[in-house]
A and B are shown apart, each in its own frame.
Chain A
């Protein structure tokens, strides 16, 4: 039995990791600006998936056009961003202004999560559409264009998603460093009071950060619609665990480390579990007589294990690790040899 998984599986793991990375990045962003851990984040991403589903149903049914990769994430992202801003402006900000504690705000995001989850399920059940009933529970992977990599036909979304994640992260980085609003945003993250004294509209910055966060989630959700066997909003209940794991591994203090943490956790869940499972079945089962069970279902153990290791050895997350001193120590050790 081969230890390393095949190319199709590796690519879909990469796509999953990129989606989790985008979600963790958005979660870290809103936590950094408004200090609210958003438990509804994965369900907001699900809005993107539903928009993608409706787009395929109404516009792209039967045509395997590449245009869907431009329109889908854009439409899904905008829809999710709109909801995200609405959630912050209409619900969370009034609650915070009335002096609710952070626990109260967390409960509020859980409440929004449940409302949104049930509304999305209602939409899927109630919205009349010719093909929707066929799409629910079906595999919409057939509606995407296919391409060949190294002679193997692979799902094109698995190529598009990591590229999209890189593009979005780069655009966001340029926005933060090259525009004055981006600089204002970074200043607000560092010190809201000082930034507001310097004339930065802090409330606008908070709203923009929720919009960005929602856009990233919606875009990731739209592309991930292909990975789910049919779109079931309840998937978000488990995805949110992974997203929080990614953010904590990243440290919840830097959006770039949020992205990296999300990607790491996503890869550990998919590729890591499969490799461990293959090794377990190839070596430990025959030699030690352990039960021949599949470990693939236990992928969430990997993400929580990573979180526990990080919290034990680097409580500030990967962002809090002093990488420069580690690099210097490695260089010195090499120089000493």
Chain B
């Protein structure tokens, strides 16, 4: 749909997905002070819901709605054995050998042709995404409530690295392991679906984060970040504030991962590594400004366009520097990103847009409200005295 200069559909979807992840990371790290160095796991959960779990659910629905076609599909991949029951198509759909044929030739047409099935499946998969994100968010918050900043960062990084690089990457029966799986996609034009879905998600996430940041909850989050003891002295429940922030952020990140996977139509755990989905979002929010949603969005856009220009002109740059073009595309941007982050940290630690005070009611209005309440109270007490 979009094809102009560096801009293409997949680049726009990438920008939108990163905007959501940056906003969610900003919610945790910028506002609440939870240094989530394991963001890539939460983004991968959305991909896993579409790929490892979505494919299985779609296969089960296929078997329920259309058992004959399901056995036809099993015959094509050579899995129709006597006595095979419904679980065999579910197994085959998530098996690296049969996954491609079953998903692309049978499940996708089946999903696209039945509107009821499509809507039901979409809601189920989105529900699974949110549920997975909440479960892992709860696990992360279990640690976040008990550990100091640096221990928490180390633990979250190790935990996510373990889940993504070891559990998801090595277990073929779970999600295709190192071969990856084709994911279930929606509508006849999944790329348009991904574009619209991630755009809607990005707008909603931004509105949500802005409203949250300017609400009493947002001020409480900043108080927890700045001084836990002071916040708890003023009666704030630190545990519940952290828990809510982590779970909201996890759900947002997983949904971003889900729409991102719709564009690629397949996912492998290793593409969701800590450089791409943890370090880059951190770089973006540091560039744009921590604890500032507009900063997170602007930082993400500036950052990704800069990176993309580099990849786009990798051949002339490679010729100029006498290195292979692939190395320019893959290595040099990473080096420059690292240098950029160090420079931002040194020269402008507050980022492009610094954190500003949260919006509150104007003082005169507040005074009016308070005076009004006082008057009302005095009036009622005077009345009571009269009685």
Cβ of B149 within 8 Å of any chain A Cβ, yes or no, is yes
Assuming the contacts A114-B338, A237-B161, asked whether A248 and B331 have C-beta atoms less than 8 A apart, the reply is no
Tell me the complex Cα distance, A197–B333, Å.
Answer: 45
Is the beta-carbon distance between A244 and B331 smaller than 8 angstroms? no
Assuming the contacts A91-B342, A241-B158, asked whether A104 and B150 have C-beta atoms less than 8 A apart, the reply is no
Assuming the contacts A104-B349, A115-B338, A297-B170, asked whether A241 and B157 have C-beta atoms less than 8 A apart, the reply is yes
Is the beta-carbon distance between A311 and B147 smaller than 8 angstroms? yes
Is the beta-carbon distance between A238 and B339 smaller than 8 angstroms? no
Cβ of B84 within 8 Å of any chain A Cβ, yes or no, is no
Is the beta-carbon distance between A111 and B338 smaller than 8 angstroms? yes
Tell me the complex Cα distance, A245–B337, Å.
Answer: 28
Is the beta-carbon distance between B342 and A300 smaller than 8 angstroms? no
Cβ of B222 within 8 Å of any chain A Cβ, yes or no, is no
Size bin of chain B's contact surface? 35 or more
Is the beta-carbon distance between A122 and B331 smaller than 8 angstroms? yes
Tell me the complex Cα distance, A8–B168, Å.
Answer: 30
Provide the residues of chain A in CB contact with B324, threshold 8 Å: 125
Tell me the complex Cα distance, A263–B239, Å.
Answer: 35
Please encode chain B, from 129 to 159, with 1 for each CB lying within 8 Å of some chain A CB and 0 for all others: 0000000000000000011011101110111
Provide the residues of chain B in CB contact with A117, threshold 8 Å: 334
The listed residue with most A CB atoms (<10 A of its CB), out of B157, B332, B342, is B342
Chain B, Cβ-Cβ closest to A238: B165
Is the beta-carbon distance between B327 and A122 smaller than 8 angstroms? yes
Report the stretch among B94-102, B261-269, B271-279 that lies at the interface.
B271-279
Is the beta-carbon distance between A104 and B345 smaller than 8 angstroms? yes
Assuming the contacts A37-B153, A110-B279, A245-B158, asked whether A95 and B346 have C-beta atoms less than 8 A apart, the reply is yes
Tell me the complex Cα distance, A122–B330, Å.
Answer: 10
Tell me the complex Cα distance, A313–B282, Å.
Answer: 32
Instruction: Count CB-based A-B contacts (< 8 Å).
Output: 116
Please encode chain A, from 159 to 180, with 1 for each CB lying within 8 Å of some chain B CB and 0 for all others: 0000000000000000000000
Tell me the complex Cα distance, A93–B291, Å.
Answer: 25
Is the beta-carbon distance between A307 and B155 smaller than 8 angstroms? yes
Please encode chain A, from 88 to 126, with 1 for each CB lying within 8 Å of some chain B CB and 0 for all others: 000100110011101110111011111101110110011
Please encode chain A, from 114 to 143, with 1 for each CB lying within 8 Å of some chain B CB and 0 for all others: 110111011001100000000000000000
Please report which residues of chain A, range 259-304, place their CB below 8 angstroms from some CB of chain B when the two chains form the complex.
291, 297-301, 303-304
Tell me the complex Cα distance, A311–B158, Å.
Answer: 14
Chain A residue total in the interface (Cβ 8 A): 43
Provide the residues of chain B in CB contact with A115, threshold 8 Å: 334-335, 338-339
Please encode chain B, from 167 to 201, with 1 for each CB lying within 8 Å of some chain A CB and 0 for all others: 10010010000000000000000000000000000
Please report which residues of chain B, range 62-80, place their CB below 8 angstroms from some CB of chain A when the two chains form the complex.
none
Tell me the complex Cα distance, A300–B170, Å.
Answer: 11
Cβ of B323 within 8 Å of any chain A Cβ, yes or no, is yes
Provide the residues of chain B in CB contact with A248, threshold 8 Å: 151, 154-155
Assuming the contacts A238-B165, A301-B166, A304-B162, asked whether A100 and B282 have C-beta atoms less than 8 A apart, the reply is no
Please encode chain A, from 14 to 37, with 1 for each CB lying within 8 Å of some chain B CB and 0 for all others: 000000000000000000000001
Chain B, Cβ-Cβ closest to A116: B338
Q: Show 8 A/B contacts (Cβ-Cβ < 8 Å), sorted by A.
A: A94-B346, A106-B153, A110-B37, A114-B337, A126-B327, A298-B167, A311-B146, A311-B147
The 10 A-B pairs at the shortest CB distance, nearest first, are namely: A115-B338, A111-B338, A297-B170, A111-B341, A118-B331, A114-B338, A300-B166, A118-B334, A241-B158, A118-B335
CB within 8 Å of A: which residues of B?
A: 29, 35, 37, 146-147, 149-151, 153-155, 157-159, 161-162, 165-167, 170, 173, 273-275, 279, 282-283, 286, 323-324, 327, 331-332, 334-335, 337-339, 341-342, 345-346, 349
Given A104-B345, A237-B274, 7 new contacts (CB under 8 A)? A118-B331, A118-B335, A119-B335, A122-B327, A125-B324, A126-B323, A241-B161
